[in-house]
Amino acid sequence: MVNRSHIQVGGFLDGVSVFSFLMITRGSLSVDYCGHRIDLSQGDLHTYAPGMPTTMLEVSDDYEALLLNINEQTVYDTPALQHIIRAGFPCVGSCLRSRHPTEDHESKHHTTS
């Protein structure tokens, strides 16, 4: 659980090597994510891809959120986690396939009805 005390307004994160999933449970948060302002409030899910510049703009006093960080290298080394990342980060998913030829081979042999 993260809250207002964990957030540095105006703080700039540059190139953090984690995939993050942030579920806002109370209050609100505004961030500049790659040059785009994103306003998040209760019930919103925000995803962060490694290396993306982010600045915290505003945080409400009652802000609380659940945060899951997954180390970037752990994702590349763990095929089961790659499926989660592909769902949350489609553009990163294509990068994962190019880094792991065995995954490409497996996906060619997977059929859907």
The pLDDT value given to residue 88: 67
User: Looking at the chain, how many residues does it have?
Assistant: 113
Q: What is the distance between the alpha carbons of residues 62 and 52, in angstroms, rounded to a whole number?
A: 26
Residue 43 in 3-state DSSP?
A: coil
- Domains in the chain (CATH in brackets) are 2-69 (2.60.120.10), 72-108 (no CATH)
The pLDDT value given to residue 93: 42
- pLDDT, one tens digit per residue, over 36-49 is 899 999 999 988 88
Give the pLDDT mean for 4-9.
89
Q: Look up residue 98 and give its two tokens.
A: 């190019």
Give the pLDDT mean for 7-36.
87
52 or 95, higher pLDDT: 52
Q: What is the distance between the alpha carbons of residues 100 and 97, in angstroms, rounded to a whole number?
A: 5
Q: Which pTM was predicted?
A: 0.67
Q: What is the distance between the alpha carbons of residues 44 and 63, in angstroms, rounded to a whole number?
A: 12
Q: What is the distance between the alpha carbons of residues 56 and 31, in angstroms, rounded to a whole number?
A: 5
With b meaning 16 or more CB within 10 Å and e meaning fewer, what string describes 19-49? bbbbebeebebbbebeeeeeebeeeeebbbb
pLDDT at 11 over 50: yes
- pLDDT, one tens digit per residue, over 53-112 is 888 999 999 999 999 998 888 888 888 777 777 776 665 444 444 444 344 434 443 434
Q: Strand order of the sheet with strand 12-13?
A: 12-13, 54-59, 28-33, 36-41
